Amino acid sequence: MEIVLSTAIGILAASGIWLLLRPRTFQVIVGLCLLSYAVNLFIFSMGRLTVGAPPIMAKGGFVNPTAYADPLPQALVLTAIVISFATTALFLVVMIASRGMTGTDHVDGQEREQ
């Protein structure tokens, strides 16, 4: 499972970075989305990988912490998803405004002179 997850994160991050460096705003925003997926998966994996383990412990008595998933990264990733979603949406608005004002979807607002 570890190898599958790390490969997935790696592929997402690599595609994200490649798209981020492209000259079109649409490619940049898709790149940012992919990168944020990679980061969110990475945060999730920092709580160690467990299958079928609940994050909330039963009340009272001795509990074996290894039988439970770490709830903190789950809480963190939830916050991170919300924030990156909101800021990406804002970026989208600015991108559309830029497209409307300049008439091009180049990140610099003008095509490179050939």
Least separation in angstroms between CB 111 and other proteins: 13
Distance CA 28, CA 100 (A): 17
Candidate list 27, 47, 50, 68; residue touching other proteins; CB under 8 A: 47
In DSSP terms, 106 is beta-bridged to: 24
Three-state SS at 106? strand
Stretch touching other proteins by CB under 8 A, among 20-28, 49-57, 60-68: 20-28
What is the CA angle 44-45-48, rounded to 5?
A: 115
- Is residue 88 a contact point for other proteins (CB under 8 A)? yes
Residues in contact with other proteins by the rule CB under 8 A: 20, 25, 28, 32, 35-36, 39, 42-43, 46-47, 72-73, 76, 79-80, 83-84, 86-88, 90-91, 94-95, 97-98, 101-102, 107-109
